[in-house]
Structure 1
Amino acid sequence: MGAPAERAGRRALGRRLRGAAGLAALAGLAWVARDVPAALGGRLAGARAERAARSPQFRDGTFRNRAGSRSAPGAPDRSLVRELIFGKQKRRPTAAVPLLRPTDAPAATERELHIVWYGHASALIEIEGHRVLVDPVWSDRCSPSALVGPRRLHEPPVGLAELPAVDAILISHDHYDHLDMATVRELVARQSAPFLVPLGVGAHLERWGVPEHRIIELDWSESHRVGGLTVTATAAQHFSGRGLRRDGTLWSSWVVAGAHRRVFYTGDSGYFDGYAEIGAEHGPFDVTLMQIGAYDRAWPSIHMFPEEAVAAHVDLRGGLLVPVHWATFNLALHDWSEPVDRLWAEAEARDVRLAVPRPGERVVVDDPPPVDGWWQSVA
């Protein structure tokens, strides 16, 4: 075969290979895209919809905040868009976030209480011999798509397969950074614990294959017994939604109470007078897990600023404050380290006990590690 023919043959082969690669890429995209509709979750119907309609929080076809505050952020204004494009904020760490692998340990004994923070809002509560997993999100992105959406700034410190057996899995609301389809599906296969969720969220779980007997839906002030624990859904000031429809499911904070120890978790919420009421009814709390990140002046009523998190902790009659909802996903315009810097300053000013663990670090609530500013060396 002469040189021209060889070159023509190589070009033809190249076209076939590129075509094959393109088809493979399209097939891969199609495979990823097919899960997007499922990730949007389910819709309320039948008995689930009837129960939602009876809730005091449900009015005119949607769930509402009791304070009458606007539930969802409005359209971004020009200044917000300009900051997003041209802002000088350091929204990512400049070095790797240090991760720790929690050492294998038996569940906390009768009077012990430990917290393991895995990043963002995902945490493990080890209380009086029980384990409660909170808002587990292990996927690379908090999004219905594996291709777009906020991506992790650090890996999970442990894999889902390495988690110990848990007694309950709590979900605060249905936003993607708190409720993740892939994580739920794997937990269904690997764990036997029930999912405790706010009203309506069970429709998502049912679509994803969670057995009905493992779905416990609660309205605010309703409780469920898990072994020796009483788990209570309490009020929060936020919103919900996984697609274009807003507020079709409820959002909540959570109280986890044993015979001797008590834990409060905010979920996502703006600051409101409900914290003082929760503290009076369910407190005092040995430890609070407080949302501190992803705040902005454009949505002040649905996420707390760090100073408000400290105020809420005081209202709740909290002992130790452990911050969550920061460090893992880039969801606002503030500097990556700003939430915890501001929290530390406010906690010192108000003489509030604080622990800021590295992702994966176990905090013994009765003997917490001193705050050492570890995040500043990577910010």
Structure 2
Amino acid sequence: MLNLKKLVKKMALVILVIVGLIVLSVFLFVTNSPQFGGKMTKEQKERYVVSPNYKDGKFVNVNGADVNLGFGDMMKSLKGYFFPLPKTIPEHNISVEAIDSVAIADYVGPTRLIWFGHSTFLLQSATKNILIDPMFGEVPAPNSMLGTSRFSKKLPIEIDQLPSIDAVVFSHDHYDHLDYGSVLLLKDKVNKFITPLGLGVHLTEWGVEQKDIVELDWWNTTNYLGMEFICTPAQHFSGRGISDRGNTLWSSWVINLGNEKIFFSGDSGYGSHFQEIGDKFGPFDFAMMECGQYNELWKAIHMMPEETAQASIDVRAKRMMPIHWGAFKLAMHPWTEPIERVSVKAKELGVDMIAPKIGQPIYLDKPLAINEQWWLKF
């Protein structure tokens, strides 16, 4: 009996040491890894107090939407990671349409967009190059061991082949939208970074000069090179670390090119803000609407596919494209479910919806013929 007690004590001590080492490792990683970005200064906090979206030291959803999961719901959502459902990732690597670097650099045609999967786009208009939520990394996580790899092995064009970028627009600071490695590779070829309030703290931590960053609150506008960028609401949250939730604002974006207007939803649960944006700034020639990485447990922060179709009507989009799918596994639904469900609802509601291949140019001045469900091949 005495030996058994000694053995139990030794085992308990070993377990405590292992747990302690794990906790210490996590602490050192979080506090020392540049992936987590910068910390808001006291001066910044004082500046953000004037924002109606900033309360008690944090940014909030002004409509009072509850975006916090309770412990029970958190456990339910984690269940899928331990007991994964089938078809959450493609059976084969997704092929993409390659883009010639010279064709990109010398482009002078009508306004077009090129999708890189998930929520990343290159917008080209009147010789201007704009990147939207440029996430070119392999895994949307602070460490490659903490996420599933990109569904495609290649990008339509690599970062080092991109021409000079006039502006980069970010919607919020989550890893699948604001990527540390991508910013490091992009920052020396970007003239201006346009972000919601607070997000610039990460960019300056990563070597971007403050003078090259414009931060906006909801409904605020900046004009740059003849283009108008309007920061508009979204129903979501922010945070890259353990204790920085709500330290930066999240948003959708209106991009007014003069003769054409584009809406980018960012990440958002469905809400009345879509109607408000449509009333203020619609109609839109084209809307990129979040559709993917959802769960009924967190629908307050990520729309269900049927809501995506309705939201495109709310913002008064002439044509809509579902985004936030086709690149990463961040939820437990089958990877093709978002496009299948939204396609059914869009047809029912009479929404003009397109679903291009990754890398396929989308021209705003003409319809895009989609004669195949390309995702069925993978």
TM-score (norm 2): 0.86
Mapped to 2, the partners of 1:141 and 1:329 lie a distance apart of 8
Matched, 1:252 2:248: no
Matched, 1:44 2:40: yes
1:311-369 CA deviation, whole Å, 9 max, x = no partner?
11001110111121101110001001000011111111111111111111111123233
Counterpart of 2:186 in 1: which secondary structure? helix
Q: Which residue of 2 aligns with 1:211?
A: 209
1:210-237 CA deviation, whole Å, 9 max, x = no partner?
0111111110011111111000100000
Matched, 1:283 2:282: yes
Residues 253, 206 of structure 1: alpha-carbon distance in 2 compared, 3 angstrom cutoff = same
TM superposition shift of 1:129: 3.5
Residues 348, 34 of structure 1: alpha-carbon distance in 2 compared, 3 angstrom cutoff = closer
Mapped to 2, the partners of 1:357 and 1:43 lie a distance apart of 38
Residues 34, 199 of structure 1: alpha-carbon distance in 2 compared, 3 angstrom cutoff = closer
Equivalent residues of 2:325, 2:338 under 8 A apart: yes
Q: Which residue of 2 aligns with 1:361?
A: 360
Q: 2:56 aligns with which of 15, 37, 60?
A: 60
Mapped to 2, the partners of 1:185 and 1:74 lie a distance apart of 36
1:330 maps to a residue whose letter is K
Equivalent residues of 2:263, 2:287 under 8 A apart: yes
1:58 maps to a residue whose letter is Y
Gaps of 5+ in 2: 1-24
Q: Which residue of 2 aligns with 1:120?
A: 118
Mapped to 2, the partners of 1:35 and 1:107 lie a distance apart of 43
Matched, 1:222 2:220: yes
Mapped to 1, the partners of 2:246 and 2:176 lie a distance apart of 16
User: Where do 4+ consecutive residues of structure 1 move more than 6 Å?
Assistant: none
Q: Which residue of 1 aligns with 2:5?
A: none
Mapped to 2, the partners of 1:172 and 1:271 lie a distance apart of 16
Mapped to 2, the partners of 1:80 and 1:213 lie a distance apart of 41
Equivalent residues of 1:254, 1:264 under 8 A apart: yes
Counterpart of 2:214 in 1: which secondary structure? strand
Give the RMSD, CA atoms, in angstroms: 2.0
Mapped to 1, the partners of 2:221 and 2:187 lie a distance apart of 22
Structure with bigger gyration radius: 1
Residues 270, 47 of structure 1: alpha-carbon distance in 2 compared, 3 angstrom cutoff = same
Residues 282, 129 of structure 1: alpha-carbon distance in 2 compared, 3 angstrom cutoff = farther
Q: Which residue of 1 aligns with 2:231?
A: 233
Equivalent residues of 1:107, 1:131 under 8 A apart: no
TM-score (norm 1): 0.86
TM superposition shift of 1:163: 1.7
TM superposition shift of 1:167: 1.5
Gaps of 5+ in 1: 1-28
- Percent identity over paired residues: 35
Q: Which residue of 1 aligns with 2:377?
A: 377
Equivalences for residues 154-165 of structure 1 within 5 A:
154-155=152-153, 156-165=155-164
